[in-house]
A and B are shown apart, each in its own frame.
Chain A
Amino acid sequence: MKCTKCGGKASIELRRHNAAFCASDFVEFFRNQVREAIRKYRMFGRDEHVLVAVSGGKDSLALWDALIADGYTTTGLYLDLGIFDYSVESHAKCEAFAESHGVPLIVSKVADEVGAPVPVIKQVTRRPPCSGCGLSKRYLMNRVALEHGFPVVATGHNLDDEAATLFGSVMHWQTDALPRQSPALAATHPKLVRRVKPLYRLSEREAAAYAFLRGIDYIVEECPFAAGATSIAHKEILTRMEEASPGAKHNFLFGFLDKARAAFERAEAVTLNECTRCGQVTTGTVCAFCKLSDQVKRAR
């Protein structure tokens, strides 16, 4: 198989694009997709300092690498979830990346902020671990960005993540979740920082290929709590569909973004308040993070 661009030996085939690329042309393809995402959704400008949320995995480190390569000013944010050896190793990967690229990394520990690490939160809440973990991540990303004065947080969510989330929302017709699904969420409150997903045009296979070809040392092992997660089941279904019909995931997500999302956006009317405890944004009186923190404290 030959590279569609230069005719050299291909390293990766992208069936949904009916193309194949050699290593160097694939890296350029990947960066062009990131550039197009940033341009289309006006995610951030050259003059803005971007906080990149990194987990030590392929997606977030690939994103950080691509932004650095394009000359953006970035700082990494690693949230230590306290998930046994998995967190120790993923933290080390982020530190090593930051050091080798000469970029700063902020570390925030969930255990310090909530009162317990994710495994204990799981026991206390008796809910799936991804629930408390995701809540803590979203809250801390926003709070750290605000405290340090970053105008925008970029995350490594890719096309597969977004298609799987959309699939889950549609399966249950969670119409309140649909308008919030976007590659870029504006700061709709003075205490909400803009959130963007510059990898939304790229599949996780493409992110893995980019990370490998760029020599990024990322954590390959899966989070021990991810086994059996609904999001994984949805991804497996979508990957089977993609195998049978290349472009299926792309068409599902992009069709929603281009044709359907606006209809649900008009239906949304949410009042944003400030949490009476921590001052962060909530739709109620006390935010979900403070309630989680209370629950953890009561149980310990």
Chain B
Amino acid sequence: MKVLLRNPRREVEIPGGRRVKDVLRDLDVVPESVIVIRGDTLITADQVVDDGDTIELRPVMSGGCR
């Protein structure tokens, strides 16, 4: 499966057939710091992503002067 990461934008290939929460843990991404996108919808941490899937881990943190 492909995982799209941002800031900087990059793509990593990892084995599928795992839950989102396991993917996040393996990539050392704090679940509260991203929304997880598959296609045109959001998916929760308990959902399984397969080998052929592409998901985006979109960061939600913005900062500097607000």
Complexed CA–CA distance, A207 and B47 (Å): 22
B60 near A243 with CB under 8 A, answer no
Residue A260, interface by CB 8 Å: no
Complexed CA–CA distance, A193 and B6 (Å): 37
Contacts of B61 in A (CB 8 A): 160, 204, 232, 235-236, 239
Contacts of A130 in B (CB 8 A): 64-65
The dominant DSSP class at the B interface is loop
B62 near A243 with CB under 8 A, answer no
B35 near A205 with CB under 8 A, answer yes
A161 near B35 with CB under 8 A, answer no
- The segment from A32-40, A216-224, A261-269 found at the interface with B is A216-224
Contacts of B60 in A (CB 8 A): 58, 203-205, 207-208
Which among B7, B35, B46 is the interface contact of A212 at CB below 8 angstroms?
A: B35
Given A20-B44, A23-B42, A212-B58, check contact A222 B32 (CB 8 Å). no
Size of the A side of the interface (Cβ < 8 Å), in residues, is 46
Given A58-B60, A220-B6, check contact A10 B44 (CB 8 Å). yes
Minimum CB–CB distance from A57 to chain B (whole Å) comes to 6
Which among B32, B42, B43, B58 is the interface contact of A220 at CB below 8 angstroms?
A: B58
User: Which of B31, B37, B61, B66 has the most C-beta atoms of chain A within 10 angstroms of its own C-beta?
Assistant: B66
Minimum CB–CB distance from B42 to chain A (whole Å) comes to 4
Complexed CA–CA distance, A1 and B19 (Å): 12
The dominant DSSP class at the A interface is helix
B64 near A59 with CB under 8 A, answer no
Contacts of B30 in A (CB 8 A): 239-240, 243
A208 near B33 with CB under 8 A, answer no
A235 near B63 with CB under 8 A, answer yes
A208 near B64 with CB under 8 A, answer no
Minimum CB–CB distance from B10 to chain A (whole Å) comes to 13
For A20, the closest partner residue in chain B by CB is B44
Which residues of A approach B to under 8 Å, CB–CB? 1, 10-13, 15, 20, 23, 57-59, 129-131, 133-134, 137, 155, 157, 160-161, 164-165, 203-205, 207-209, 212-213, 220-223, 225-226, 229, 231-232, 235-236, 239-240, 242-243
**A–B Cβ pairs within 8 angstroms, 8 of them:** A11-B41, A13-B44, A213-B42, A220-B7, A226-B62, A226-B63, A231-B63, A239-B30
Which residues of B approach A to under 8 Å, CB–CB? 6-7, 9, 30-35, 37, 41-47, 58-66
Q: Which A-B residue pairs are the 7 nearest by beta carbons?
A: A134-B65, A226-B64, A130-B65, A232-B63, A208-B60, A11-B42, A133-B65
